[in-house]
Amino acid sequence: MSIPKIIGCVFLLCGLVYACVLGRDLVKNKDALRQAPGDLKVLGGLEFIVFFLCTLGVSDFLLNTLIIKKLRLADDRSIPSCLIAATIVPGALIAFSYLRTENSADALTLILFMVCLAAGAVFGSQVVSRMDGSTVKKVMGFALLFSMAALVVKMIVSAGTTGSAVSLRGGKLLIMSIACVGIGFINMTGVPCKPIATAMLLLLGLSPVAALTLTLVLGAINPMSGGVSIVKAGLYNRKMVLAAMTAGSVASILGVVLAISMNQLLLNILLLIVMLIAVVSILKNEGAAA
């Protein structure tokens, strides 16, 4: 079994263990489940949409934050717990599904991507308090716009063809590693790192599926570390998390199957749309803050 598939199985196992812990908590606290804000059927439909879009690179944290606030599912103190608890099982399935495909990134590229991002995050967490987060977000927003423009030019010059590589070597691997340290560092200021990472990987020639594999696997790592403690604390909306674990998991599997079988040019266009949404979100928030 290849290293990416082994890593995928680890994600799946962690997701299953978490699902058991969560299921036990829901059975034990049936009254709290019934009394939690929201309609379970409506939340099931919404979480299906959220995690279907997540398989294409859309931030489930962004969408679920909007849902929580709009439907008043939790107070501000409980929102982070709700987001983390909701994403773990579907996120594990997404990571497993992408990593088991033949078009996923190879072992060396995957491992260096994860290690360099982690190194940047560790370094960034130590100095982030001294940085002007607002300025960093604006710079990253415009950097992402520039990356998108470069991707469009690349697609036009190559007559619509897209990258097809599943691995990076030599200079490209070095560029990715250095950039990942920077992206991990910047992520500690609160700037979403998935869109800019996806843009970088596509520009380096990776296929859309391989780029999604790396960025979505990254998104599954951090939530798993605190999921069980959140369940024990009980500071989350049990209806929303149950909907995510069930309907969201089904959507995750269907979304990955669709993405893998989708025309690569169409998938590239969808990723560009996702990046544009991220740019608007980053610059709009900074404009409102100003």
Residue range 234-288, pLDDT digits in tens = 878 999 999 999 999 999 999 999 988 888 888 888 888 888 887 887 777 655 5
What residue ranges do the domains of the chain occupy? 3-289
Residue 247 class from Cβ within 10 Å (0-12 exposed, 13-18 middle, 19+ buried)? buried
At position 132, the amino acid (one-letter code) is D
At position 152, the amino acid (one-letter code) is V
What is the model's pLDDT at position 75? 87
The residues that bridge with 165 in the sheet, in sequence order, are 206
Provide the token pair at 262: 């989708």
The span from the CA of 114 to the CA of 280, in Å, is: 27
Q: 98 pLDDT band (50/70/90 cuts)?
A: very high
In contact, 272 and 148? CB cutoff 8 Å: yes
Residue 217 class from Cβ within 10 Å (0-12 exposed, 13-18 middle, 19+ buried)? buried
Residue among 121, 287, 90, 107 nearest 197 (CA):
121
Q: 231 pLDDT band (50/70/90 cuts)?
A: confident
Q: What average pLDDT does this structure show over 39-67? A: 91
Cα 119 versus chain centre, distance: 18
pLDDT digits (tens, 9 = 90+) for 132-188: 667 777 777 787 788 788 778 777 766 556 678 999 999 999 999 999 998 888 776
3-state DSSP assignment of residue 166: coil
The span from the CA of 267 to the CA of 272, in Å, is: 9
The span from the CA of 281 to the CA of 285, in Å, is: 6
pLDDT digits (tens, 9 = 90+) for 102-121: 778 899 999 999 889 888 87
Segment (H or E) for 271: helix 264-289
